[in-house]
Amino acid sequence: MVLFALAPAVLAAPISACITRWSMPLLQRYALARPNARSSHRIPTPQGAGIAVIAATLLVAAPWAAWIHAAIPLPLIGSAVLIALVGLVDDVRPLPVVLRLLLQAGAVAAVVFTTPEALRIVPALPLAVERTLILIGGVWFVNLVNFMDGLDLMTVAEVVPVTATLGLLGWWGDLSPSAALIATALCGAMLGFAPFNRPVAKVFLGDVGSLPIGLLLGWCLLELAWQGQPAAALLLPAYYLVDSTVTLFRRIARREQFWSAHRSHFYQRATDNGFTVRRVIGDVFALNLLLAVLAIITVSASSTWVTWLAFVAGAIAIGFVLRRFSRPQAF
């Protein structure tokens, strides 16, 4: 039974690794990311390996879902492909910000507004209001994964613990089979990509990877919230949510062009403050493991006071890491 649950990850990992390896010469030629003042890399590096991650995830998840009779929504697959194509074009030739946002919003809306009306998080809210808030949150989540993908292995350190936990919750029956399948396949695909992205990275995900990863991961977390576990759905991506959201509001308060590339995220400031890339990634990975444990506790305990304690513990842990990242490293 355990081997069956892990099989999608085991299949997706080599597919992702093979496609990544085969695509690197093409990416080197057409999608080269050259370093600038805001970059964390120092030499021109190909980007766009997210093609491999998304392809491996969908190539495994779609037929597997048909085999076990788990319904993966067609709008989700179509929207993931659309956002990946938008990201691919943007990796080769940058698109206007407004056009990117409109296409992303359309893709997220196609997923959100085609779900059954019975799926609710806060039934007291009018359905239209709740779905609109989910749409806004979905667009933000898609972009924050992109914003946070600015360091070698950063997205791996985030996505692998989250998707592994979602797969585990699915195995325990606390998440829909379709969401658990997507999460497990995505986890494997990220593991297959990881050797190529470890410091110093040979290739980056690019927008073609980070944007649809945000969509797929966001949908899995939304499914978890619809299953009556909104606390766990917030705790799992809490580090990404806090780092990116705090950074966004700080940039808005400073009247900066918050939509443009920058080095203001806490993990970026950490490298400027003397932290090695491996140490930053190690701290983020450890933090995400703790948040995963807290999320599992809220699901298993089903107690309000336990949930609040988990949120407090998570907030303290995140605050501790962000404070460390924002202060110069002592030598």
**Separation CA 194–CA 156 (nearest Å):** 7
CA-to-CA separations, 303 to 173, 231, 309, in angstroms, rounded? 18, 11, 10
Tokens of 273: 């403050």
Burial class (CB in 10 A: 0-12, 13-18, 19+), 134: buried
Q: Is 288 annotated to bind ligand?
A: no
Distance, CA of 329 to CA of 279 (rounded, Å): 11
Report whether 170 contacts 179 (CB < 8 A): yes
Distances (CA, A) of 99 to 47, 228, 274: 21, 35, 37
Longest dimension (CA), the chain: 57
Distance CA 91, CA 154 (A): 19
Residues in binding site: 146, 207
Residues in binding site for Mg(2+): 146, 207
